[in-house]
């Protein structure tokens, strides 16, 4: 008889819990809806199907979730994780910590993510996607309405700086910022300094080009392949001095040519992400230029359309490579080292 009563009691309690769906655990927790749950200390879940956990946190939006201390998830489907946070809008997410209970990190943007620590300003913000097949914009540094795909804003008294640091700067590794594709960008290494890579033109629109030091100048290459440095004297006159070699340029390599103008110049050498081949005199025949490994296997073939051709070498392992120019029955070759 006792076993029957216990079984009846268990079945009755099971029906009650299945009907309520709600859970209240520990001290002073509150739920106002049969499908909401609150656990921890002084947590409140008042929104339908909401969940609150931790200490002194509230989930008041529909399907809102809060986990942590002194948090508020007010928007429908909002989520907070951490301490002193508040998600005011629908589908707003906040992760991290505000500065204090009275100085919360608040997200007032729908369909967005905000991350920050010990501040009421976010360090990272991810905005909503405009359509299902597109992606949102990212803000760094109290940017909640990014005006570009990546929008960085510095704090007062702080540089709006971004550091791209290679693994071994002193050893010659390159820092690279690509623009558009891998053939256009800005690079820097400890040997050559700043390198501006493009297959087209460097265009400066508006303003002046300012060179601060008078003993520094502009290095230009003349049609015969020689390099000249132009500097300005105290009278405002620009004078040019011929250099022994162009920056990063190797000694010319010639093969099967009786004419000095058929010289190949390969630079920089050693190469980093790019290598340029300068052909001082083009043949009348259609020309092709090849990049081969040291075993003679062709890696890249291009048609020559100008006096210089550039190859992307960033993906190549370190080693010796061969440049081969073919024009009719003539062939010219040169070598360079990829670091």
Domains of the chain, first to last? 16-152 (2.150.10), 166-196 (no CATH), 213-246 (no CATH), 260-338 (2.60.40.3080)
DSSP state of 250: P
Fill in the DSSP letter of residue 154. Answer: P
What pLDDT, on the 0 to 100 scale, is given for residue 209? 78
Cβ neighbours around 63 below 10 Å, total: 20
**From CA 203, how far away is CA 96, in angstroms rounded?**
44
- Residues 335 and 252: their CA atoms lie apart, in Å, by 10
How far, rounded to the nearest angstrom, does the alpha carbon of residue 13 sit from its chain's CA centroid? 56
Q: What is the rounded distance in angstroms from the CA atom of residue 255 to the CA atom of residue 267? A: 18
Three-class secondary structure of residue 14 per DSSP: helix
More confidently predicted of 254 and 330: 330
Residue 337 pairs in a beta bridge with 320
pLDDT at site 59: 96
pLDDT value for 140: 96
Cβ 75 vs Cβ 62: under 8 Å: no
Cβ contact 48:31 at 8 Å: no
pLDDT of residue 24: 56
Comparing CA positions, the residue from 57, 34, 39, 56 lying closest to residue 47 is 34
Is the torsion defined by CA of 207, 213, 214, 217 positive or negative? negative
| pLDDT, tens digit, 9 for 90 and up, residues 190-206 | 877 888 888 778 788 88
In whole angstroms, what is the distance from residue 65 CA to residue 45 CA?
9
Q: Which two tokens stand for residue 182?
A: 């891998």
| pLDDT 10s digits, 56-111 | 999 999 999 999 999 999 999 999 999 999 999 999 999 999 999 999 999 999 99
Between residues 298 and 231, the one the model is more confident about? 298
The mean of the pLDDT values for the chain is 82
- Planar angle of CA 163, 168, 174, nearest 5 degrees: 65
d(CA 121, CA 114): 9
Q: How far is CA 316 from CA 38, 47, 211, 323, in A?
A: 57, 58, 36, 14
Nearest to 185 by CA among 310, 49, 321, 44: 310
> What is d(CA 243, CA 170) in angstroms, rounded to the nearest whole number?
27
CA distance 339 to 327: 29
What does the alpha-carbon distance between residue 51 and residue 61 come to, in Å, rounded to a whole number? Answer: 10
Are 138 and 126 a contacting pair, CB within 8 Å?
yes
> Is residue 339 predicted with pLDDT exceeding 60?
yes
Asked if the model's pLDDT at residue 4 lies above 80, the reply is: no
* 255 vs 67 pLDDT, higher one: 67
Model pLDDT for residues 162-180, shown as the tens digit of each residue = 999 988 888 878 899 988 8
Q: What is the pLDDT of residue 245?
A: 73
In the numeric block, the tokens 């190949």 are attached to 264
Looking at the predicted structure, is the pLDDT value of residue 297 above 90?
A: no
pTM of the model as a whole: 0.61
Whether the predicted pLDDT of 17 surpasses 50: no
Q: What confidence score (pLDDT) does residue 130 get?
A: 92
Pick 24 or 65 by higher pLDDT. 65
Q: How far is CA 186 from the centre of its chain?
A: 14
Between 280 and 49, the higher pLDDT residue: 49
Distance CA 46, CA 30 (A): 8
Query: What's the 3-state SS for 57-120?
Result: CEECCCCCEEEEECCEECCCCCEEEEECEEECCCCEEEEEECCECCECEEECCCCEEEEEECCC
What's the order of all strands across the beta sheet hosting 319-327?
298-303, 287-293, 319-327, 330-338
Largest CA distance in the chain: 116
């Amino acid at each position: 008889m006792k076993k029957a009563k216990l079984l009846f009691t268990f079945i009755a309690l099971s029906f009650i819990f299945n009907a309520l769906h709600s859970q209240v655990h520990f001290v002073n927790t509150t739920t106002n809806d049969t499908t909401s749950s609150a656990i921890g200390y002084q947590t409140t879940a008042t929104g339908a199907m909401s969940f609150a956990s931790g200490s002194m946190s509230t989930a008041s939006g529909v399907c809102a979730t809060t986990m942590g201390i002194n948090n508020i998830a007010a928007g429908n489907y909002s989520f907070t994780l951490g301490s002193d946070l508040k998600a005011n809008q629908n589908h707003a997410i906040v992760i991290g910590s505000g500065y204090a209970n009275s100085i919360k990190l608040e997200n007032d943007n729908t369909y967005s993510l905000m991350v920050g620590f010990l501040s009421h300003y976010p360090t990272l913000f991810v905005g909503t996607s405009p359509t299902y097949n597109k992606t949102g914009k990212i803000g760094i540094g109290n940017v909640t309405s990014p005006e570009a795909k990546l929008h960085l804003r510095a704090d007062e008294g702080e540089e709006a700086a971004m550091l791209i640091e290679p693994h071994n700067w002193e050893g010659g590794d390159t820092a690279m910022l690509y623009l558009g594709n891998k053939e256009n960008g800005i690079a820097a290494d400890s040997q050559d300094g700043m390198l501006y890579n493009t297959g087209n033109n460097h265009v400066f629109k508006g303003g002046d080009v300012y060179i601060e030091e008078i003993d520094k100048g502009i290095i230009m290459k003349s049609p015969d392949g020689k390099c000249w440095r132009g500097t300005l004297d105290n009278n405002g006159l620009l004078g040019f001095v011929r250099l022994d070699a162009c920056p990063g340029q190797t000694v010319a390599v010639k093969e099967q040519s009786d004419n000095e103008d058929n010289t190949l110049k390969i630079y920089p050498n050693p190469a980093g992400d790019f290598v340029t081949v300068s052909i001082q005199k083009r043949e009348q025949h259609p020309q092709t230029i090849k990049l081969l490994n040291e075993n003679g296997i062709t890696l890249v073939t291009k048609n020559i359309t100008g006096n210089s051709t550039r190859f992307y070498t960033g993906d190549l392992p370190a080693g010796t490579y061969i440049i081969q120019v073919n024009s009719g029955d003539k062939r010219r070759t040169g070598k360079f080292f990829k670091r």
